[in-house]
Chains A and B, each alone.
Chain A
Amino acid sequence: MTCSSSRRSFLVGATLAPYVWAWPAVARAVADGVGDRPLVCLFLRGAADGLSLVVPHGEPDYYRERPGIAILPPGKTGGAIDLDGRFGFHPRLAPLKPLFDSGLLAVVHAVGSPHPTRSHFEAQDYMETAQVGLSSTSGWLARCVAERAALGLGELQAVALTDTPPLALRGTPTLVAARLAQLQLAARPRARQQLEMGFERMYDRSSTEVGIIGSRALATARRIRELSLGDDRARSGVDYPKPTAALRELASLIRAGLGFDLGWVDVQGWDTHQNQGNAEAGRLPVLLDAWSRGLAAFWADLGEWRERVLVLVMTEFGRTVKENGSGGTDHGHASVMFLLGAGVRGGKVYGNWPGLQPNQRWEGRDLAVTTDFREVFAEVATKHLGVASLAGVLPGYLPGPALGLLA
């Protein structure tokens, strides 16, 4: 994807006069191509248990090893929702089943990292940089869009509705906010105007990292207020479960046509060492219930953007095949990924199933990785983000035969 000269000159204009921002120009930028096919990532932090999300209900070892927390086979009360005779969704993923059936949603199973670590932090870093042992490097998604013109939400290529900036986006201009409502300075109107102008004047003069981010924050706050994106007026009428408000806000930013390439939402709480639960009670069903309904709402909310948005759901690794001593599971190896979008060849569970018998497991205990997560990243980078060469994006990765997840 190349960038047109009109957009470049627009960018220069924006840099020279940051407060005189013309919204019609943004719409033009979108029409030109950058930011018109956003990738939205949901990172399930803490290692989501792929074996409970997408249940291998034909595996006797699954039920043998998990007497307290297994999801029962389809047809039983609280049983899995069958997908293809071998695998089934956790019953709390029911809101996603219509998307699977209509061919928009694909599952990749036994997918994971070529790195053997069972450390959350190491595995997340690796998955976000797609590089081993270079902890201060740039994010893989930042490298995907590095060639493009920086545009959209005021020199932004990415929006992360998270507490902290995701490593995957490090190296690309990103708006980071836990909630859009936090992007404003509250005070009495007269004082606010004076204060805001004073801060803008000060931060626009600063060339430090803090100065640049502060300046971007003030400019973004202004625009979000002008567009009323942070308040109820931006709501579309689609209902989201409360914990998934970030998805609602992301949908409102996409619908406003701000023209960013990457959206990111963190979902915490998947480290289910205890009280993981099965179909109804426990930590996992509660999380799955909110986030599957949230994701279905997000999809409905996108409207005509459904043609252009791709959603990628990932987690750093999976969990032990065997239930532990406290009704939970410990750190394992392979897990699942989901892709949702118009270009997805959905309605299918991808990957080679390694089996769950002890001799089929990785180190005798975990679901083995048969699909390197970089195979999924590679398809997303080339087919959705328009990356021509993977050498810089996924260094050291030798592409195998493509899974064919995306059309």
Chain B
Amino acid sequence: MSNHRAVVTIYIACWFVGCAVPNSVPMSQVASPPRPEGTAIAPALAHDVSAARHLLNRFAFGPRPGESETVAAAGIELWLDAQLGSEPRPNPELESALWPYLGAALEPRQLVDSWLGRGTLDEPWKGPEINRRIRPYFRQHLAELGLLQITRHVLSERQLEEVMVEFWVNHFNVFAPKGLVRVLVGDYIEGALRPRALGRFEDLLIATARHPAMLIYLDNAASSSEMPTWENGGPMGRGRHAKQRRKTGGLNENYARELLELHTLGRDGGYTQQDVIGAARILTGWGVSRRARAGEQPLGFVFRARRHDSGAKQVLGEHFPEGHAEDEGLRLLGLLARHPATAKHLARKLCAHFVADDPPSGCLLATERAFVASGGELRAVLLALVRDETFWATSARGAKLKTPLEFAVSALRAVGAKPDGTTELARAVRRLGEPLFEESVPVGYLDSSSAWLAESGMLARMQFATSLALRALPGVSPDAAAVLPAGDVPDLLQLGNRRILGQTASAGTLDAIQASLASLTDEADRPALAGAWFLGSPEFQQQ
């Protein structure tokens, strides 16, 4: 394990002196755009505590103790400005909490080195064999990655970025336990998604399309030209060569289809089977490198001209002339990123995420317009969304069910809990029904209530609330006493309603908690059980 530690140390040193985070695409395009002009948020909301709480529920993972009041006092616009800004702000609390787990975000090659010994991938290797050897390390690695993600969500001051990272994790879903995605998923999140979470959509699209995690997950790395060229055996090849071609050659449409359906145009985006085939042909040759040589990193992106179909293609009525190589893939991704159907699709997903499962047309219109006008600059898009009055409507407040992850993170934030360094916390979130990076289908975890409202899920939430409040959740040190100190029943009710539920408790909930607290034989149990009931209440499941 000394190898592992050495690599981690180098990595952490980099972290603090600010070397570039390893990733497969140049970061130069990730600069923030100037703030667009527009109607500001209504003055009546600027210092309103309940509006601040609503904003913190949607543009953050819920308020920390007293945070709604602080944000309202300073002004909502100020908080938004900071969230939409691009300068990194020092956050020693987060950095020290992340320290033990930064190794989980190592580059794939370093990760393999740290597990299997230095230089493992510099020798000739086969995927199945490496897979077999890394498997014993994978579960712990995945739990560490999950903890890294949860810790950032809980402690980061850049909350909107965290919310958007989670949004993209699902929009551009990969399934961590598939083959070599096991060692690629950390780099995918930290290197491809996180740096661009508030950047330009097209950059995200390209970064995901080129990332080996996606190339393997949706099989593009296994796709190749249907029509063999002279270089890979000749059109009339016979015998052994023909057989070999048959075995390894041919299109795989998986990525191309999800690229159109899920990542860009959307189900109703007006594409046909011929467009899927055209896109798949254009992307042939985009694969994953197996060896170290000039310009190639093992497990990095590689374009293999031999596997590329260089014939003419047609996608969405656009002609792609013959004789092109990697460049036509980038042209395709640009075409898709700027397509009006993509703006519509992304507007719908963002409004459903931030406003309501069935998004109001005002939000759709404002968001789609901003997407088109800014060329997919996500800061401008989110600003338009939050400035639209539908975001603040009474009907939108508390209208969304929290996903299991949102519930867990918001509960930890509500009681000022700090992840203190065991991976048990990632396992607790897993038990809520949303194991991170383990959704096998490409659509990712949905964030609509119909996807999560289930009996087993509700009991799991009550269980999580109970464990957290009773200080029985390993890996977490809650500051529950600061939220609900010992006190008599009316005080506990009043404090719990204000601090945990932001005054949204129904009369029924308050009556029930009051009756339950009054029936407790041991008064010392009151604060913890009250905490469990408030965190596990129907109101706390909503945002």
Contacts and interface: CB of A to CB of B under 8 A. Distances in A.
Interface of A: 45-46, 67-68, 118-122, 136, 163-165, 170, 175-179, 182-187, 191, 194-195, 197-199, 201-203, 205-206, 208-211, 213-214, 216-218, 220-221, 268-269, 271, 273-274, 323-328, 330-331, 363
Interface of B: 219, 222-224, 226, 246-254, 257, 261, 267, 273, 276, 358, 401, 433, 440-441, 443, 446, 449-460, 462-463, 466, 470, 472, 506, 508-509, 511-513, 515-516, 519-520, 525, 529, 532-533, 536-538, 541-542
7 A-B pairs with the lowest CB-CB distances in the bound complex, closest first: A325-B250, A205-B508, A326-B222, A176-B454, A177-B456, A198-B516, A217-B455
A122 B258 CA distance: 12
B456 A185 contact: no
Nearest to A322: B250
Given A121-B267, A194-B529, A217 B456 contact: yes
Contact of B440 (A269, A324, A325, A328): A269
Contacts of B443: 120-121
B455 A178 contact: no
Contacts of A195: 462, 466, 529, 532-533
Given A202-B512, A213-B458, A325 B223 contact: yes
B542 A331 contact: no
28 contacts: A121-B443, A163-B433, A165-B451, A165-B453, A176-B456, A185-B459, A191-B525, A194-B519, A195-B462, A195-B533, A197-B516, A198-B516, A198-B533, A199-B533, A202-B509, A206-B506, A209-B453, A213-B455, A216-B455, A217-B456, A217-B459, A220-B455, A271-B254, A323-B250, A324-B223, A325-B249, A326-B219, A330-B254
Interface of A: prevailing SS: loop
Contacts of A210: 401, 453, 458, 538, 541-542
Contacts of B512: 198, 201-202, 205
B232 to A, nearest CB: 12
A164 B451 contact: yes
Most buried by B among A46, A178, A274: A274
A330 B456 CA distance: 34
B450 A202 contact: no
A205 B538 CA distance: 10
B437 to A, nearest CB: 15
Nearest to A320: B253
Contacts of B459: 182-185, 214, 217-218, 221
Contact of B449 (A187, A209, A268): A209
Nearest to B540: A210
A194 B520 contact: yes
A294 B512 CA distance: 44
A118 B257 contact: yes
Contacts of A136: 358
A231 to B, nearest CB: 16
Given A170-B450, A203-B538, A324-B253, A363 B273 contact: yes
Given A194-B516, A324-B253, 9 more contacts: A121-B267, A136-B358, A164-B454, A165-B454, A170-B450, A177-B455, A195-B462, A214-B462, A268-B441
Nearest to B276: A118
B529 A177 contact: no
Interface of B: prevailing SS: helix
A273 B252 contact: yes
A200 to B, nearest CB: 9
B444 to A, nearest CB: 11
A195 B222 CA distance: 53
B454 A274 contact: no
A327 B249 CA distance: 10
B219 A273 contact: yes
Contact of B252 (A46, A121, A324): A324
A210 B539 CA distance: 9
A185 B443 CA distance: 31
Nearest to A164: B451
Nearest to A122: B267
Contact of A120 (B441, B516, B533): B441
A324 B459 CA distance: 44
B252 A182 contact: no
Given A176-B455, A182-B460, A183-B455, A325 B533 contact: no
A384 B452 CA distance: 30
A176 B458 CA distance: 10
Contact of B515 (A45, A119, A201): A201
Contacts of B516: 194, 197-198, 201-202
A177 B454 contact: yes
Contact of B222 (A119, A186, A325): A325
Nearest to A133: B268
B454 A326 contact: no
Most buried by B among A195, A208, A271: A195
B26 to A, nearest CB: 30
Nearest to B226: A325
A67 B250 CA distance: 13
A106 B13 CA distance: 65
Contacts of B226: 325
Contacts of A328: 219, 252
B466 A217 contact: no
A47 to B, nearest CB: 11
A205 B453 contact: no
A269 B175 CA distance: 12
Most buried by A among B248, B532, B542: B532
Contacts of A206: 506, 508-509, 538
Nearest to B542: A210
B260 to A, nearest CB: 9
Contacts of A164: 446, 451-452, 454
B466 A187 contact: yes
A150 to B, nearest CB: 15
Given A210-B542, A273-B219, A178 B273 contact: no
Contacts of B511: 205
Nearest to B530: A198
Given A269-B440, A324-B250, A178 B520 contact: no
Contacts of A218: 459
Contacts of B257: 118-119, 331
B455 A185 contact: no
B455 A198 contact: no
Given A121-B267, A202-B509, A214-B538, A326 B223 contact: yes
B536 A199 contact: yes
Nearest to A165: B454
Contact of B247 (A68, A194, A198, A211): A68
Contacts of B247: 67-68, 327
A274 B538 contact: no
A175 B455 CA distance: 6
Nearest to B250: A325
Nearest to B249: A325
Most buried by B among A175, A205, A271, A331: A205
A206 B510 CA distance: 11
Contacts of A220: 455
A68 B533 CA distance: 58
Nearest to B463: A185
Contacts of A269: 440
B249 to A, nearest CB: 6
A202 B508 contact: yes
A213 B453 contact: yes
A191 B515 CA distance: 16
A107 B238 CA distance: 40
A191 B521 CA distance: 11
Contacts of A330: 251-254
A186 B401 CA distance: 24
A165 B466 contact: no
B77 to A, nearest CB: 32
B219 to A, nearest CB: 5
A208 B455 CA distance: 14
A177 B456 CA distance: 5
B417 to A, nearest CB: 19
Contact of A46 (B441, B466, B533): B441
